[in-house]
Amino acid sequence: MHVTRRQGLMGLAAIAAAPAGFITPAQAQSRAETMRQVTGGAVNTLDPTMPGSTREAFGISMNVYDRLVAFGRKQVDGNWLFDHTQIRGELAERYEISPDGLKITLHLRPGALWHDGTPVTAEDVKWSLDRAVSAKSLAVSQFQTGSLTSTEQFRIAGAGVIEVLLEKPDRLALSNLAVPYAIMINSKLAKQHATAEDPWAQKWLQANTAASGAYKVESFRPGVQVVLTRNEEWKNGPLPFFKRVISQTVPEAATRANLIEKGDADLSIDLQASDIATLQSRGQVKVASIPQSNGFTHISFNTRMAPFDNVKVRQAIAAALPYEDMFKASLFSRGRTLYGADWTTPPNADFPQPLPLKQDLAKARALLAEAGLANGFSTSFSFGTSTASTSEPLAALVQEALGKVGIRIEIQKLPDAQLNTMQAEKKLAFYTDSGTAWLPATYYFFYLYFTRDQRWNFANWENPRIVELSNAARFERDGAAYETQCKEMISILADQLPLLMLWQPNMDAVMGKAIEGFTYQFYRQVDFRDLKRA
C-alpha cells in the first residue's frame, strides 16, 4: 500500500464523506479496528538507533520491536503515564538482579517468535546487545549511561538465558534495556543483509524490520505514512485492540485538528495549544492533558560568557522575570509550573520540581548593582523557529521585563539547524529551549544536563561539586544517601541558576470520544498497544 500524502488525506476524508448506505458491515468493522494517527512530524527510518532518527521513528519502533524489559504504567489524575520505577519483562519473561547489583539475568519467554515465525534465541539477543554497544549509532552513548559499553558484558548462560555483567552496580543499567534504542533484532535475518562495510545491517534495517513486536510494518513511505498490522502471534503483553494502525504525516496543525474533529482521524498529539481549547469547547473531541513529567522548558545562560559567568547577573535576571505572565502567554497555562516554590531546602529529592523563582524587580536591580552593572547591559535572546508559537510571546515578555531593570534585549529567531549548531558550539549567550530525559532519575537529569562539555549541557556549566555528586549518586545503593545527594544537587542548582526551569508543557492528546487508554510515554509518542475504541 503506497500512497502519496494527498491520496492518503483523500482516503481519510472519503470514509467520513461516504453515505451511510455505501459502508458495508465489513468496512465499518475494519474502520472500528483501525487506528488513524495524524502527526506533524515524520517517520524517517525504521531503525531508531540511526543518527537523525525522529521522535516519530522512536514511537513506531516501540510498537514494532520488543525490548527485553519495559516500564510499567500508572494512573495520575485520571490519566495514564509511564512508571519508570516499575520495570516488567517484555521479550524477557522475567529477570533477576544479583544481591551485589553486578549481574542482571534475563529469561526469555518460552515460545517467543520473530515476525517471520522463527524462534527468538539467546544468540539473537546477544547479537542485538552487541550491536547496541558496537555499531556507530545513537545506542552507544545512551547505553553508556547504564555502564553498558562492551560486548563482553553480555553472556549467554543457557537456552533462553542472557546475563548482563557490570563492574559497578549502575542504577540505570536495567532501565537502559527499556529505551527505544534497545531493540531486539532477528539476527539471522539481519545478517543476511549485512556486508563487510555494514556488519550490523544498518542500511537494510532503515527501511526493513527484523522484529518480534506487537505490530508488523505493512508499508513504509519515509516522511509520508507508515501502516502497521497486528502481530497475532505476539505473546509479550496483552494483544492490542487495533488490528491496523495508520500513522500519517499531515504538516498543517489546522488540518490535523479538522481531521480529528470530523472523525476522519482518531488521534493527534501535536496540535497547537491555542487550538485545543477551541476544539474542547465545541465538544466533538476529548483531550488527555498530561504534563510531560520527564521534560522541561528552560531559559539558559552561557555561564562561560560575560556577563552570565557572574552568578549575581543570573540571579538578577531570575528575579526580574514575570513567570506567571510567561506561562499564560506561552502555553495558555497548559502544563505544570517549575517556579514559585518557597523552600530554602528542597522538600524532596524529585526532579524536576518547582524552584524558588519569583519576580522581584527591586531585588533584581540590587543584584545588578552588586554585579557592577547598575546601568544594565545589552545582549541577545534566542529561540528556534519551530517553537515560535510558544517562544515568541515568551521572548517579548523577557524583553519587556528586563528592560525595566536596564537590560536591553535583541530577540533572535533562528532556524532550528542554526540554533542547534550554535548551542552545540556554545555560542548562544541567552536563549530558551527544552529538554527531556528518558530515564527521569534525579541524578540522571543532572548528569545529562549539568555536567561535562557536551551538547546537552545547555548552560555550559562547570561545577565540580555537581560532577562529584552525580557520579556518586549513579552508583549509590543506600536510599537515604542517594536522597541526600540529590537534594544537595537541587539546592546548588537553585542557588547558582545556570538555567531557569520554567515549566513542563502538557502533552495534549486530542482524540475521538471513543478512544481510550492513551498513555504518556517517556519518549513522547503514541503507544498503540494500550489504545482501544470503546
pLDDT given for residue 275 in this prediction: 86
Q: CA torsion sign, 9 to 11 to 15 to 18?
A: positive
Rounded Cα distance between 64 and 162, Å, is 22
CATH number for region 295-505: 3.10.105.10
Give the model's pLDDT for residue 24.
Answer: 57
1-62+213-285+512-534 classified as CATH 3.40.190.10: yes
Q: What one-character-per-residue DSSP string does 93-134 give?
A: EEEEE-TTS-EEEEEEPTT-B-TTSPBP-HHHHHHHHHHHHH
Predicted pLDDT of residue 10: 45
- CATH number of 66-195: 3.40.309.10, 3.40.640.10, 3.60.20.10, 3.90.76.10? 3.90.76.10
What confidence score (pLDDT) does residue 26 get?
64
Query: For position 414, what pLDDT does the model report?
Result: 96
**What pLDDT does residue 386 have?**
87
- Do residues 150 and 156 make contact, with C-beta atoms less than 8 angstroms apart? no
- Please give the Cα distance from 190 to 34 (Å, whole number): 30
Residue spans of the domains in the chain: they are 1-62+213-285+512-534, 66-195, 295-505
Report pLDDT for 446.
Answer: 96
Could you report the per-residue pLDDT of 498-533, keeping only the tens digit for each? Answer: 999 999 999 999 999 999 999 999 999 999 999 999
CA distances from 449 to 228, 262, 470 (A): 36, 42, 11
DSSP, collapsed to helix, strand or coil, labels residue 440 as: coil
pTM of the full predicted structure?
Answer: 0.88
Amino acid of residue 28: A
The pLDDT value recorded for residue 28 is 65
Asked whether 438 and 299 are in contact (CB, 8 A), the reply is no
- Closest Cα to residue 513, out of 316, 285, 304, 246? 285
Strand ordering across the sheet containing 519-520: 69-76, 79-89, 519-520
For residues 177 and 123, the answer to whether their CB atoms sit within 8 Å is: no
* pLDDT lower than 70: segments of the chain: 1-28
Q: 496 is written with which cell numbers? A: 547558582
